[in-house]
Amino acid sequence: MKVFMILLLLVGSALAGTDQGVRDEFNGEAVDFFMGNDKIAAKLEMTPSPNCLEGDMEMSEDQKKVYNMMQEVTSKDRAEVLQLASTAFRLWPDKTLVYQFDSSLSNEMKAMFEEAVDLYREMTCINFVEAKDGYTGDIPPLTVKGSGKGCYSSVGGPGGHLNLQNDLCDHVRVCLHEIGHALGVMHEQTRPDRGDHVRIIEDNIMPGYAHNFRMVDRELIAPYDLQSVMHYHSYAFSRNDFMETIIPHDISEGEKMGRQWSLSRLDIYKFNLMYDCYDGCPEDLKDKCQHGGLPSKQCTCVCPEEYKGAYCEIFNGETACSAEFKATSGVIQSPGYPERYPSNTECVYAIECPVGMTVHLDFKDFDIEGFGCFYDIFETKTGDIIDEIYPDKYCDYELKGVTKDSKTNVALMTFKSDSLYNYKGFDIEYRCE
């Protein structure tokens, strides 16, 4: 997980500018702070390209036919349609995406595309090969160009086009997203199970664009992922800058949705599954990885930062105030409570209830330095740990008198104080329900 955060920072460094200092200061987690304005993303990705579906997927006539069938699937013809889909939207042969740069692409865009490719290379087993002059291989290359309007790509391979309009698509997220299409992935928010996670607000969609929100049935190989690089953000195809078109059921997830600047943990897992990267791994590896751990292409478990060990089975709280709670009820207090908490403290808390139960948190007292949670901060992860990269952040009196329930049998919390201004802290009662 730590490696992953560092990677995020590396990817982010391509977006250098006045925000870089802010990003470093927040240790990588400023990535979503930087994206404080969804509308940047909206403008970037939502310049619909002519002849593209859902804004940025270029399809052949044959693919369009199958795509339409995927939107109309009934239980009767589902198996048949999914079979057609696997033929129409193909994976690249030999786990190898071959690409060539068209002269219309700027050197800056080439470098950014390569940066995105390097992340796929590092996190998946997919090979990316540049077809240079005189290429004589069997796999038709994907042509990466800058002359078209907008940021878009063909869906699946081999061959096809990926367009990165030079002055519009210059963000690594956009490159990762379009490469995702080229590898054969469609948008996360059109999954047939999206209704369990998000709501589409049809009244807020630009007139004539509602068809971009139709569900597209497909084989689902991993849990729904709000943080996927293939998920659109809240203002996708909005009729203006203020009206959200996609709202997650868990509102607190909204700021994480469609705004990640890197591949999410589930993205990496999904691409590795699609391209058979786990072929050499023990079959039960996924089940053996505990606490939201996911298999890596090296057949190890990639753990959330709160856990370590070969199977993420060991609590990773290294400071004296960190603790793991396995009793079915208990109390968690800031160090020294009710006296002021000490400076420069970091405490990690993990509550693990028996499987099948959830964690009920009751914040009896909560008093942490405020000021936008920039200095002292209390973070919770009460969602499904498998897809929860970014915690919810609190300070001031925000959680005083509040109760929270976890989605799974695990709840994780972290408290950090800096060198100045210490307050009373927190007193939390929890119980398994």
Interface segment toward Zn ion; rule CB under 5 A; list 49-57, 233-241, 294-302, 363-371:
49-57
Nearer to Zn ion by Cβ, of 228 and 414: the residue is: 228
Instruction: Please give the size of the binding site for Zn ion, defined by CB under 5 A.
Output: 1
Nearer to Zn ion by Cβ, of 183 and 389: the residue is: 183
Report the phi/psi class of residue 261: left, alpha or beta, with left for phi > 0 and alpha for psi in -120 to 50. Answer: alpha
| Structure tokens that stand for 121 in this block | 């290379």
Interface segment toward Zn ion; rule CB under 5 A; list 8-16, 48-56, 121-129, 241-249:
48-56
d(CA 419, CA 376) in angstroms, rounded, equals: 9
DSSP 335: T
CB atoms within 10 A of CB 6: 12
At its nearest, how many Å lie between Zn ion and the CB of residue 248? 19
At its nearest, how many Å lie between Zn ion and the CB of residue 162? 11
| Structure tokens that stand for 127 in this block | 């090979």
d(CA 181, CA 119) in angstroms, rounded, equals: 15
At its nearest, how many Å lie between Zn ion and the CB of residue 163? 12
Annotated catalytic residue within 45, 54, 178, 388 = 178
Interface of this chain with Zn ion, residues 52 to 71, rule: CB under 5 A: 56
Whether the Cβ atoms of residue 91 and residue 157 lie closer than 8 Å to each other: yes
DSSP 239: S
d(CA 62, CA 155) in angstroms, rounded, equals: 12
Rule CB under 5 A: say whether 367 interacts with Zn ion: no
Please calculate the CA angle 45-175-135 and round it to the nearest 5 degrees. Answer: 135
At its nearest, how many Å lie between Zn ion and the CB of residue 386? 23
Say if residue 211 carries a ligand binding annotation. Answer: no
Say if residue 177 carries a ligand binding annotation. Answer: yes
Task: State the residue for tokens 């939207």.
Answer: 89
Interface of this chain with Zn ion, residues 264 to 303, rule: CB under 5 A: none
Nearer to Zn ion by Cβ, of 160 and 293: the residue is: 160
At its nearest, how many Å lie between Zn ion and the CB of residue 232? 8
* Closest chain position to Zn ion (CB): 56
CB atoms within 10 A of CB 371: 10
Interface segment toward Zn ion; rule CB under 5 A; list 51-59, 253-261, 338-346, 421-429:
51-59
Would strands 294-295 and 301-302 be described as parallel, antiparallel, or unpaired?
antiparallel
Nearer to Zn ion by Cβ, of 56 and 267: the residue is: 56
Nearer to Zn ion by Cβ, of 56 and 217: the residue is: 56
At its nearest, how many Å lie between Zn ion and the CB of residue 247? 20
Say if residue 161 carries a ligand binding annotation. Answer: no
End-to-end CA distance of the chain: 29
Q: What would you report as the CA-atom Rg of the chain, rounded to the nearest whole angstrom?
A: 23
Whether the Cβ atoms of residue 153 and residue 164 lie closer than 8 Å to each other: no
Nearer to Zn ion by Cβ, of 56 and 392: the residue is: 56
Q: Is 255 a catalytic residue?
A: no
Nearer to Zn ion by Cβ, of 88 and 353: the residue is: 88
| Ordered DSSP codes for 73-134 | --TTTHHHHHHHHHHHSPPPGGGEEEEEE-TTS-HHHHHHHHHHHHHHHHHSS-EEEE--TT
**For the window 330-359, what string marks contact with Zn ion as x by the rule CB under 5 A?**
------------------------------
At its nearest, how many Å lie between Zn ion and the CB of residue 3? 27
Task: State the residue for tokens 């977006």.
Answer: 15
Q: Is 303 helix (H, G, I), strand (E, B) or coil?
A: coil
- The helix or strand, by DSSP H or E, that contains position 173, with its residue range, turns out to be helix 172-182
**Known binding-site positions:** 177, 181, 187
Q: Which residues bind Zn ion (CB under 5 A)?
A: 56
Tell me the catalytic residues: 178
Residue positions forming the annotated binding site for Zn(2+): 177, 181, 187
